Amino acid sequence: MKKIFLYIKLSLPIFILGLLTSCENSDDESERVYFEMTSTTWYRFSPTAPAPAVVNGTTYTSFAYLPGGGTGTATNMGNITTFFNQLAYTSDATVPQPVPVGTLPASVSLIPTLPVLGAPLPLIQAGDFNALTSANTMLQIPASDGSGRVINSVIFNSSGDALFTTPTSPSVITPVSPTRLNLTGKLTVVGGRGKFANATGDLDLTVFFNPTNPNDAGYNVEGWIEY
């Protein structure tokens, strides 16, 4: 009997220490989960002064911002709203309607400062980005992350959970038909708000848009995140 009590006496501190260590690790460890967001979106066109854009050693010309937004659903977020911004570049900016061949990241927080020119679509219309302005009061979307990478998209829900992303490389635009252009790229997650405040991760980006209808587009991501 004495041996049993001695065994319990010696084992109990080890058990308690192990339990505390387990709880501590559980609190500190982030969870890696599959993440998918699908959304129906629209885009706008905001001309900007032409500027050289060097992509993979080739010099192009940037000529317009392509901001946009929409709604959809996302893993562990439910119904979401998303906004994004891109800087389109072309191989020939001298023609009346330059054809975008790719995009570079542009700050999503820049969107509310883009001008409303009073012209028809696809130019920005009054009220297009009111929801982004309202959301930013709560989310305080930064222009870039701590290392200077441009945050070009935000995904958020009504509870204040938000993910910020930035491209890891220029996006490539592929013509499919006169009414469809596809855009693909890679994104990295650079934090957010709410439960995603310290989120990281890597996502595949797939976008389509109709060059003849600025209200016909989709913006989807898929990959893994940790938070």
What is the domain count for the chain?
2
Domain containing residue 7? 1-30
> What integer pLDDT is reported at residue 127 of this predicted model?
95
Residues in the chain: 227
Residue 166: strand pairing partners:
188
In this structure, are 25 and 121 located in the same domain? no
1 vs 118 pLDDT, higher one: 118
- The answer on 194 and 89 residing in a single domain is yes
Instruction: Tell me if residue 216 falls in helix, strand or coil.
Output: strand
Beta carbons within 10 angstroms of residue 20's beta carbon: 10
Task: Please write the tens of the pLDDT for every residue from 37-82.
Answer: 999 999 999 999 999 999 999 999 999 999 999 999 999 999 999 9
Alpha-carbon gap, residue 172 to 152, rounded angstroms: 16
Check residue 9 and give its pLDDT. Answer: 47
> Are 22 and 46 found together in one domain?
no
The span from the CA of 186 to the CA of 196, in Å, is 19
**Do residues 7 and 94 share a domain?**
no
Task: Please tell me whether residues 102 and 122 are part of one structural domain.
Answer: yes
**What residues contact 4, with CB distance under 8 A and at least 6 apart?**
none
Say whether both 1 and 65 belong to one domain.
no
The tens digit of pLDDT for each residue in 105-162 reads 999 999 999 999 989 999 999 999 999 999 999 999 999 998 899 999 999 999 999 9
Residue range 2-37, pLDDT digits in tens:
444 444 444 545 444 454 444 444 445 678 999 999
pLDDT given for residue 13 in this prediction = 52
Tokens 């800087």 locate to: 87
Is the CB of residue 78 less than 8 Å from the CB of residue 36? no
Kindly tell me if the per-residue pLDDT of 213 is higher than 80: yes
Average pLDDT over residues 97-103: 90
Higher-confidence residue of 217 and 25: namely: 217
Which pLDDT score is estimated for 169?
84
Query: Is 185's pLDDT higher than 90?
Result: yes
Residue with the bigger pLDDT between 190 and 4: it is 190
> Are 149 and 107 a contacting pair, CB within 8 Å?
no
Assess whether 20 and 84 both reside in one domain.
no
Lookup: tokens for 55: 């992509």
Q: Are residues 18 and 1 in the same domain?
A: yes
Same domain, yes or no, for 24 and 42?
A: no
Same domain membership, residue 191 and residue 85? yes
Same domain for 105 and 7: no
Question: 144 and 123 in one domain?
Answer: yes
